[in-house]
Amino acid sequence: MKATSIVEFVRDTYKTDEFIPLHAPMFDGNEKAYVMETIESSFVSSVGKFVDEFEHKVEAYTGTPKAVATVNGTAALHTALYMAGVQRGDFVITQALTFVATCNALYHMGAEPIFVDISPVSLGICPKAVELFLDEHAEVTETGCIHKKTGRTIKAVVPMHTFGHPVDLDHLVSVCQKWNIVIVEDAAESLGSFYKGKHTGTIGNFGAVSFNGNKIITTGGGGMVLCKSSEIGIRTKHITTTAKIPHPYEFFHDEPGFNYRMPNLNAALGCAQIETIDTFIREKRVLAEKYDELFKGTDLQFVKEPEYAQSNYWLNAIICPNQSVRNEIISETNRMGVMTRPVWKLMNKLPMFKNCLVGDLKYSNWIEGHLINLPSTPKLIITESL
**Interface ranges with ligand PLP (CB under 6 A):** 72-74, 98-99, 101-102, 160, 186, 188-189, 210, 212, 223
Pairing, β 182-186 against β 206-210? parallel
- What residue number has its CB nearest to ligand PLP? 73
Burial of 267 by CB count in 10 Å (0-12 exposed, 13-18 middle, 19+ buried)? buried
Nearer to ligand PLP, 210 or 310 (CB): 210
Nearer to ligand PLP, 96 or 160 (CB): 160
- What are phi and psi for residue 226, nearest 5 degrees? -95, 120
Nearer to ligand PLP, 101 or 281 (CB): 101
Q: How far is CA 234 from the centre of its chain?
A: 23
Nearer to ligand PLP, 98 or 205 (CB): 98
Phi-psi region of 384 (alpha: psi -120 to 50; beta: other; left: phi over 0): alpha
Nearer to ligand PLP, 144 or 220 (CB): 220
Which residues are registered as beta bridge partners of 66?
227
Comparing CA positions, the residue from 294, 352, 301, 353 lying closest to residue 326 is 301
Comparing CA positions, the residue from 62, 68, 61 lying closest to residue 227 is 68
**Shortest CB 247 distance to ligand PLP, Å:** 31
**Shortest CB 210 distance to ligand PLP, Å:** 3
Nearer to ligand PLP, 175 or 188 (CB): 188
**Shortest CB 163 distance to ligand PLP, Å:** 9
Q: How far, in Å, are 91, 291, 348 from residue 351 at the CA level?
A: 18, 36, 8
Dihedral over alpha carbons 294, 298, 303, 307 (to 10 degrees) = 90
CA distance 271 to 31: 8
Nearer to ligand PLP, 180 or 214 (CB): 214
